[in-house]
Amino acid sequence: MSSIKKINHVAVVVEDMDKALRFWRDTLGMNFKESIEIPSEASTVAFLPVGESDLELVKPTGQDSGIAKYLAKRGPGIHHLCLEVDDLMGIISRLKQAGIRLINEQPRIGQGGRQYAFVHPESTGGVLVELYQSD
């Protein structure tokens, strides 16, 4: 049976990446791994490792992206929790059979070829959950 391996990252939507990094990196002293632009998601993402997981700061680069719409509606803050899984299709299938509402019923391909899918917060008690397969 497919399983959850770990929390891969917690994503936080920010309005100002420099201001956010001043807090998380400079004030708290977290290490900064990298910052990348993700054109397919119209966002810039900064990664700050915490143990085996990351804090992911996400800033929209366009006004029509999902992240920009989220920011405009809800403001900055925690956006989603990402769980790393060993068999994404197996977990998607199990969730569908259980009647769980998915945003992505088929895996999407992200940065570096990784596969991911989102579970709608309506089915998780209000938390947007990303499922991510690293292999």
**Rg of the chain (C-alpha set):** 15
Domain edges within the chain: 4-133
Q: What is the pLDDT of residue 111?
A: 76
Reply yes or no on domain 4-133 having CATH 3.10.180.10.
Answer: yes
**pTM for this prediction:** 0.92
Are the C-beta atoms of residues 9 and 56 closer than 8 Å to each other? yes
Q: What is the pLDDT of residue 69?
A: 93
Encode pLDDT of 19-37 as tens digits: 999 999 999 999 999 999 9
The CA distance from 103 to 120, in Å, is: 5
Q: Where are the alpha helices (DSSP H) in the chain?
A: 17-21, 66-74, 88-97
